[in-house]
């Protein structure tokens, strides 16, 4: 293994001094994402092309160091945090967009900010449908890595439904392409494997994404309820009535109050919960669906229903919803968020128990929910400088994961597994399942040079080292 100085010299020679950082402050700043876990960064690189990404991978390999790829650092699961000393590939300088308006597609480099892509295509009356709450900062590369969703994935689907092809650099430094413009390509769906692989199979350097036409009509409604159970019942009733809204979001009272104090959107601070519902499509259909959502809300005790009068009010309501994370800073300097999923028919049970978990641990919890698909985002606010607080928060968060699994849910809806949930994978996957995933990973990166120690727990290759597989299992 070469020395750190030799590594930096080799990287500077390949990329230039402006594209490599290794000072202690830089390494500290890039040692974590938006979550709570830190790792050790040896050097930070800012490549501007697939060729430069390949050069970094080869140089890191010569020095015996793994590579971790990072976009804007908005991830909350430690997916861009090294589990061991590593070279960081930061893709934020890769920002080219090539739009094919006729085919409603675009080749997009990984450093393009999610919202900037839709702004770029707005004159064509097109947008990129996945819209994470961090869309003003998060990048397309991170969206692809985590198969990110967002409020509008209820009707439109998550990132994997909007990616046709992925250009990536493999562990040997080769630039490869998976997928293509055809909607139904032949052969194995390698593209589908790469989307959501959290940087463990290669470094994405471009993605061919679908662009969605802007709907001709939109109605956005805010419904306020005296009880969380009423809001949850409204969610199930709307879906049961045959309406799949463009979005169906929930916030609880503690978060409503924090957001209102932060944004001043005239939110009903006396409500136990609010639903932000949006329907989109043909004007006649939109009006009918909006009326149905309002009627269902009224039947379930909504005491205030606000229909956005214009685009300005609609944008204000969405600004309130997407400012939820930032608003927590008024309550405590830190927060710990888990991203889990439960069946939407069990939202009431989930919310009741989440409040009980917070009470048992003497913690403040604020909830946002992608209610239409049961994607929970409980946020435990705390002060990390107080001894024992981090341990309490982690214990409470793990109880939330266990609760979600017991209710028939899964570990993550959109944030990924990363380091945060790696050791919880066995709650939903058997040893055979984990072994299959590990073998797939090895097919791309046998030496585990990409993001080692993340997603899959140690020992996932359960049939290695001379062990015999269970009867009937092929290896």
| Domain harbouring 368, CATH code | 3.30.70.2740
Domain stops at, among 165, 193, 213: 213
pLDDT for 78 beyond 80:
yes
Does residue 127 share a domain with residue 183? Answer: yes
Q: Which of 148-157, 166-175, 434-443 has the lowest mean pLDDT?
A: 148-157
Does residue 10 share a domain with residue 33? Answer: yes
Q: Which of 65, 68, 71 is nearest to 95 (CA)?
A: 71
Does residue 104 share a domain with residue 201? Answer: yes
> What does each C-alpha distance from 342 to 75, 127, 220, 349, 400 come to in angstroms?
21, 29, 25, 10, 11
Does residue 179 share a domain with residue 131? Answer: yes
Does residue 311 share a domain with residue 233? Answer: yes
Residue percentage of the chain with pLDDT more than 70:
96
**Residues 244 and 289 sit within 8 Å (Cβ to Cβ):** no
Does residue 166 share a domain with residue 123? Answer: yes
Query: According to the model, what pLDDT value does residue 462 have?
Result: 66
> pTM to 2 decimals?
0.90
Query: According to the model, what pLDDT value does residue 114 have?
Result: 97
| CATH of residue 41 | 3.30.43.10
Domain stops at, among 325, 356, 385: 325
Does residue 104 share a domain with residue 85? Answer: no
Query: According to the model, what pLDDT value does residue 185 have?
Result: 77
Q: Which of 423, 426, 390 is nearest to 405 (CA)?
A: 426
- Residues 94-144 have pLDDT tens digits of 999 999 999 999 999 999 999 999 999 999 999 999 999 899 999 999 999
Does residue 204 share a domain with residue 133? Answer: yes
Domain stops at, among 307, 325, 343: 325
Does residue 303 share a domain with residue 233? Answer: yes
Structural domain range at position 62: 4-90
Does residue 101 share a domain with residue 157? Answer: yes
Element (H, E) at 420: none
pLDDT for 471 beyond 60:
no
| CATH of residue 318 | 3.30.70.2190
| Rounded Cα–Cα distance for residues 253 and 459 (Å) | 43
| Rounded Cα–Cα distance for residues 404 and 408 (Å) | 7
- Residues 260-289 have pLDDT tens digits of 999 999 999 999 999 999 999 999 999 999
Does residue 453 share a domain with residue 394? Answer: no
Instruction: Label residues 170-185 b or e (16+ Cβ within 10 Å = b).
Output: bbebebbebbeeeeee
* The total number of structural domains that make up the chain: 5
| Rounded Cα–Cα distance for residues 410 and 167 (Å) | 29
Q: Which of 128, 133, 137 is nearest to 164 (CA)?
A: 128
Angle (CA) 363 364 368, round 5°: 130
Mean confidence (pLDDT) of the chain: 93
Does residue 237 share a domain with residue 186? Answer: no
């Amino acid at each position: 293994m070469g020395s750190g100085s030799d590594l930096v010299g080799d990287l500077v020679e390949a990329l230039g001094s402006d594209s490599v950082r290794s000072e202690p402050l830089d390494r500290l700043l890039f040692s974590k994402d938006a979550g709570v876990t830190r790792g050790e960064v040896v050097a930070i690189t800012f490549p501007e092309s697939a060729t430069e990404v390949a050069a970094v991978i080869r140089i890191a390999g010569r020095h015996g160091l793994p590579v971790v790829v990072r976009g804007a650092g908005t991830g909350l699961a430690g997916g861009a945090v090294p589990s061991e000393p590593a070279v960081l590939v930061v893709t934020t300088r890769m920002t080219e967009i090539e739009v094919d308006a006729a085919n409603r597609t675009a080749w997009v480099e990984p450093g393009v900010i999610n919202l900037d892509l839709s702004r770029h295509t707005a004159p064509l009356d097109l947008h990129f449908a996945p819209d994470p709450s961090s869309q003003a900062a998060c990048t397309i590369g991170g969206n692809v890595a985590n198969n990110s969703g967002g409020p509008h994935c209820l009707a439109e689907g998550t990132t994997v439904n909007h990616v046709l092809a992925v250009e990536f650099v493999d562990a040997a430094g080769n630039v490869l392409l998976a997928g293509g413009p055809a909607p139904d390509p032949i052969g194995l769906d390698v593209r589908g494997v790469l989307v959501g692989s959290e940087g463990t199979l290669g470094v994405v350097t471009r993605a061919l994404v679908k662009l969605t036409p802007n709907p001709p009509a939109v109605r956005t409604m805010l419904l306020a309820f005296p009880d969380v159970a009423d809001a949850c019942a409204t969610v199930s009733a709307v879906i049961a009535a045959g309406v799949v809204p463009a979005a169906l979001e929930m916030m609880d009272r503690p978060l409503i109050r924090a957001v209102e104090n932060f944004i001043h959107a005239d939110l009903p601070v006396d409500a136990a919960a609010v639903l932000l519902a949006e329907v989109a499509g043909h004007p006649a259909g939109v009006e009918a669906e909006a009326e149905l959502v309002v009627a269902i809300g009224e039947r379930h005790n909504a005491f205030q229903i606000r229909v956005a009068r214009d685009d300005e009010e609609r944008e204000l309501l969405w600004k309130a919803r997407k400012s939820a994370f930032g608003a927590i800073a008024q309550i405590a300097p830190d927060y710990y968020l888990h991203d889990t999923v439960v069946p939407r028919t069990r939202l009431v049970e989930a919310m009741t128990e989440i409040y009980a978990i917070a009470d048992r641990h003497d913690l403040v919890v604020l909830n946002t929910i992608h209610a239409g698909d049961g994607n929970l985002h409980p946020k435990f606010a705390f002060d990390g400088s107080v001894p024992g607080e981090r341990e309490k928060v982690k214990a409470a968060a793990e109880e939330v994961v266990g609760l979600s699994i017991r209710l028939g849910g899964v570990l993550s809806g959109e944030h990924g597994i990363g380091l945060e949930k790696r050791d919880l994978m066995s709650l939903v996957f058997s040893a055979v399942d984990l072994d299959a995933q590990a073998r797939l990973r090895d097919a791309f990166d046998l030496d585990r040079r990409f993001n080692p120690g993340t997603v899959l727990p140690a020992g996932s290759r359960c049939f290695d080292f001379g062990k015999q597989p269970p009867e009937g299992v092929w290896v």
